[in-house]
Structure 1
Amino acid sequence: MEGFFQRYLSLYRPLISRLNDLMSTYELSYSLWQVIFYIKNNGPSTLIEIANQYNVEKPTITRRVQRLEDLQIVKQIPSTNKREKVIQLTELGDEIYQVCRIKITELENSVMEGIAKEDQMITFHTLPKIQENIMKGDGSKSE
């Protein structure tokens, strides 16, 4: 399907900009939100687990986590392996997650306005399959 990537990329940047604006009240960006979202949905996590989830290098996640620690949204907790840094959301982090989750859901609903529920579900289930196909044979990680 020629032109698919162009269509996808043409909506990616504006969507990220909208998400960044939405979270700016809390000094967050979408890249920081990814860490919060992962921890909220997976519990206390290592930097490696988060880096692997988003296919980025560990130093990238380290910088994001440091920023979230500065904002008192995450904190380091004791680990059985001294070489691994395990982080979890703070109480403030959990509160911010709840507020941002509502705002993001409202944004999701508004951008899907006028699109049939069936089409929404098809897209929802198709995108992970596309991601899987892209990731096949791609061992590289990005910043």
Structure 2
Amino acid sequence: MEGFLRRFLRLYRPLITSLNELLSPFELSYSLWQVIYYVKNNGPSTLVDISTHFEVEKPTITRRVYRLEELQIVKQIPGRDRREKIIQLTEIGEEIYRICREKITDLENNLMEGIPKEKQVILFQLLPQIRENILNKEGLNDE
């Protein structure tokens, strides 16, 4: 379908901008939110776990985690090995997650306003299929 990428990218940029604006009162960006979200939904996690999930280099996640530590949103806990950094949310992090999750849910609901539920379900199912097609074409595996 010609024009899909252009349409997707025209959606992606304003969406990330909206998320960054929503998160900015907490000194967060979408990239920092991704780490918070991952740890909240997967429990204490290593930097390798997070970097593998988001398909980014470990130093990128290390910088994000360092910033979240400065904000007292995450903390390191002892791992099996001194070299292994495991992070978990702090009490402040749990509260910020709760507040931001509510705001993001409101944003998601606003984005879907006027779109019939059936079409929302179809879109929700199609996006992972498109991602899978991209990964299969590149010869990559999803996690």
TM-score by length of 1: 0.94
**Which secondary structure does the structure 2 equivalent of 1:132 belong to?**
helix
1:47 maps to 47
**Which secondary structure does the structure 2 equivalent of 1:56 belong to?**
coil
Q: Which amino acid aligns with 1:28?
A: L
Aligned residue pair count: 140
2:128 maps to 128
Structure 1 residue 137 displacement after superposition? 5.2
**Which secondary structure does the structure 1 equivalent of 2:75 belong to?**
strand
C-alpha offsets along residues 5-36 of structure 1, whole Å, 9 cap, x if unaligned? 11110010000000000010000000000000
Percent identity of paired positions between Structure 1 and Structure 2? 66
Greater shift in the superposed pair: 76-85 or 12-21: 76-85
Structure 1 residue 82 displacement after superposition? 2.1
1:81 maps to 81
1:64 maps to 64
Structure 1 residue 139 displacement after superposition? 7.0
Partners of 1:27 and 1:56 in 2: CA distance = 22
Structure 1 residue 44 displacement after superposition? 0.2
C-alpha offsets along residues 54-78 of structure 1, whole Å, 9 cap, x if unaligned? 1111010000000000000000000
Structure 1 residue 85 displacement after superposition? 0.6
Partners of 2:49 and 2:8 in 1: CA distance = 27
| CA distance 1:48–1:131, change in 2 (3 Å) | same
1:33 maps to 33
Structure 1 residue 106 displacement after superposition? 0.2
TM-score by length of 2: 0.94
**Which secondary structure does the structure 2 equivalent of 1:79 belong to?**
coil
2:97 maps to 97
| CA distance 1:139–1:47, change in 2 (3 Å) | farther
- Please, which runs of 5 or more residues in structure 1 have no aligned partner? none
1:6 maps to 6
Partners of 2:91 and 2:63 in 1: CA distance = 21
Would you identify which runs of 4 or more consecutive aligned residues in structure 1 move more than 3 Å?
Answer: 137-140
- Please, which runs of 5 or more residues in structure 2 have no aligned partner? none
